[in-house]
């Protein structure tokens, strides 16, 4: 029986020199840290130091999340990654009627600069790299972070980290959009310009395939649609009269790591190669940093199971190994209990320990690109590159990523693949240990972490106190200036920062932009 990869590509039982008969190593492989970066973006990769171990965390109140961050730092985390709750992601305050029942549930509630101050209390922002998983209101949360850094006395030029800021994938796979695509892209371009002037070490976008993969995208679809979104962002910045080498070095990416180790390694290699060639050949980038596809990886939450959750420790270890062998720059390992609830302190610590074992107890960091020249991996890399380029060409034929989104192309392709995976799982052709094979007659009890439902009332009370104590005239004037900028072509981040400094809330700032730009209503085009 023929075996297919997650992308539906054939996997041969044996690979040999014939698989690479027409293969040109100088063109397709190169040296580590050199074009086309198949073997990694840095010459030494992990032989000098390991990847950044960046654990994704955030729940409940800012104070509770701050305690978790301090614990992770104490146990060896080199970078923080902030999870925001759903109201924050959608640009609503915790006391908004639409936020009821969701405050603090899937991340931390941040309504104002006061919450951001508590979130990073006692954490020196000049010594910690912070990633924020926030998209439609990314600029708002980034400015709150900068304001807190200024309160700490940290110059903006010393801040390092990443803001996800990838709104296009929200229309494709995730749904936490606010504004229509055109003003959303304008906000992305304004963030590029602002950070070049004010936060030069900050990564302005993390173009994300992870959420597409969680929605059911195959590895080929994941890199194809992610890189197509990247092309759209580059074109947006160029249309805003920015030079490609002024912003491209700060672009970063975000991918999933599945348990299918060989295909995942090949996926990362193919993605680097495609991006390097695109940036050089299509956009004329000259700075080598503009050609580098630097990426963060998260292990595959969608592959975790609520049944026999401890088995997820094994899955996460294999997924993490795939990310490391594929050359990731930073990594988050999921906790084994995330299919049930938010991670406990113990499970989050075990997830971090998984990375530390890989970095310090194995030999995968001893040499650069251990799989280079592997008949199987190089052949899979070529196959994935061809499949991804075919999908990217279809996106181009529809007019680019935004036009393809409006046609429902990416969403439809991902949903068809998700249906295929579900059919294979239900039919037993795809084995999920503990679910459709090797199941237990009775599951062992497990006590998950639970978020206090009183958090919503506590956040509402904080907001009431903030609004009573602030200078409302200053807030109103700042929000009016923001609306004026949104109607014109001035960079909206400068008046936005003034509004946030005056204690305007996340919901008020996003509401002011909604008044000018409107809210996105998805079409049912497939």
For residue range 153-191, list pLDDT tens digits in order: 999 999 999 999 999 999 999 899 999 999 999 999 999
For residue range 367-413, list pLDDT tens digits in order: 999 999 999 999 999 999 999 999 999 999 999 999 999 999 999 99
* pTM (two decimals): 0.93
Nearest to 350 by CA among 301, 323, 322, 314: 314
Average pLDDT over residues 290-307: 97
Looking at 65-79, 208-222, 229-243, which range is the least confident one?
A: 65-79
Residue boundaries of the structural domains of the chain: 35-426, 470-517
Report the chain's mean pLDDT, rounded to a whole number: 94
For residue range 69-81, list pLDDT tens digits in order: 999 899 888 788 8
442 pLDDT higher than 90: no
Q: Which residue has the higher pLDDT, 342 or 139?
A: 139
Give percent of the chain above pLDDT 90. Answer: 88
- Tell me the CA distances in angstroms from 333 to 108, 153, 431, one per residue in order: 19, 32, 22
pLDDT at res. 526: 41
The model's confidence at residue 524, banded by pLDDT at 50, 70 and 90, is: low
Looking at 35-49, 77-91, 253-267, 458-472, which range is the least confident one?
A: 77-91
Count Cβ atoms within 10 A of the Cβ of residue 525 and give its class: 0-12 exposed, 13-18 middle, 19 or more buried: exposed
Average pLDDT over residues 336-359: 93
- Tell me the CA distances in angstroms from 300 to 97, 117, 303, one per residue in order: 33, 31, 6
The model's confidence at residue 1, banded by pLDDT at 50, 70 and 90, is: low
Average pLDDT over residues 438-462: 88
| Rounded Cα distance, 137 and 75, in Å | 31
Nearest to 505 by CA among 38, 15, 116: 116
- Three-state secondary-structure class, residue 52: strand
| Rounded Cα distance, 2 and 515, in Å | 56
E runs forming strands in 65-170: 79-83, 129-133, 161-163
The model's confidence at residue 443, banded by pLDDT at 50, 70 and 90, is: confident
DSSP letter assigned to residue 107? S
pLDDT at res. 27: 76
CATH no. of 35-426: 3.20.20.240
């Amino acid at each position: 029986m023929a075996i297919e990869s997650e992308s539906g590509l054939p996997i041969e039982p044996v690979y040999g020199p014939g698989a690479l008969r027409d293969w040109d190593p100088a063109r397709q492989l190169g040296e580590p840290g050199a074009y086309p970066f198949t073997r990694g973006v840095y010459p030494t990769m992990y032989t000098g130091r390991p990847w950044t171990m960046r654990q994704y965390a955030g729940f409940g109140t800012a104070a509770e999340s701050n305690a978790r961050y301090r614990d992770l730092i104490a146990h060896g985390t080199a970078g923080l990654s902030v999870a925001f709750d759903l109201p924050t992601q959608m640009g609503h305050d915790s006391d908004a009627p639409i936020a009821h029942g969701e405050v603090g549930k899937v991340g931390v509630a941040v309504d104002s600069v006061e919450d951001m101050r508590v979130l990073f209390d006692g954490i020196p922002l000049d010594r910690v790299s912070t990633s924020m998983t926030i998209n439609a209101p990314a600029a708002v949360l980034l400015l709150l972070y900068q304001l807190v850094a200024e309160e700490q006395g940290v110059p903006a030029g010393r801040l390092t980290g990443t803001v996800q800021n990838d709104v296009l994938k929200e229309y494709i796979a995730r749904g936490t959009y606010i504004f229509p695509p055109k003003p959303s892209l304008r906000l992305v371009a304004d963030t590029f310009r602002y950070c070049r002037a004010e936060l030069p070490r900050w990564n302005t976008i993390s173009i994300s395939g992870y959420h597409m993969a969680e929605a059911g995208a195959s590895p080929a679809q994941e890199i194809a649609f992610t890189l197509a979104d990247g092309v759209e962002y580059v074109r947006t910045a160029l249309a805003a009269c920015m030079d490609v080498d002024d912003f491209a070095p700060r672009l970063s990416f975000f991918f999933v790591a599945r348990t299918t180790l060989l295909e995942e390694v090949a996926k990362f290699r193919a993605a680097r190669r495609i991006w390097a060639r695109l940036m050089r050949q299509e956009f004329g980038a000259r700075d080598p940093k503009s050609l580098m596809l630097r990426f963060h990886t998260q292990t595959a939450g969608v592959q975790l199971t609520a049944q026999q959750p401890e088995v997820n420790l094994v899955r996460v270890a294999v997924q993490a190994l795939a990310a490391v062998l594929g050359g990731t720059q930073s990594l988050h390992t999921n906790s084994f209990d995330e299919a049930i609830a938010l991670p406990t302190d113990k499970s989050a610590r075990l997830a971090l320990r998984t990375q530390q074992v890989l970095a310090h107890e194995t030999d995968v960091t001893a040499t650069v690109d251990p799989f280079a020249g592997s008949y199987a991996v190089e052949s899979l890399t070529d196959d994935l590159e061809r499949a991804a380029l075919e999908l990217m060409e279809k996106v181009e034929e529809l007019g680019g990523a935004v036009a393809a989104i409006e046609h429902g192309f990416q969403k439809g392709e991902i949903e068809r693949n998700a249906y295929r995976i579900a059919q294979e799982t239900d039919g037993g052709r795809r084995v999920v240990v503990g679910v459709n094979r090797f199941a237990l007659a009775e599951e062992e009890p497990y006590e998950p972490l639970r978020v206090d439902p009183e958090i919503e009332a506590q956040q509402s009370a904080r907001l009431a106190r903030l609004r009573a104590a602030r200078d409302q005239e200053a807030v109103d004037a700042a929000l009016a200036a923001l609306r004026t900028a949104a109607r014109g072509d001035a960079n909206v981040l400068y008046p936005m920062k003034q509004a946030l400094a005056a204690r305007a809330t996340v919901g008020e700032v996003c509401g002011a932009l909604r008044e000018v730009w409107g809210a996105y209503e998805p079409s049912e085009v497939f």
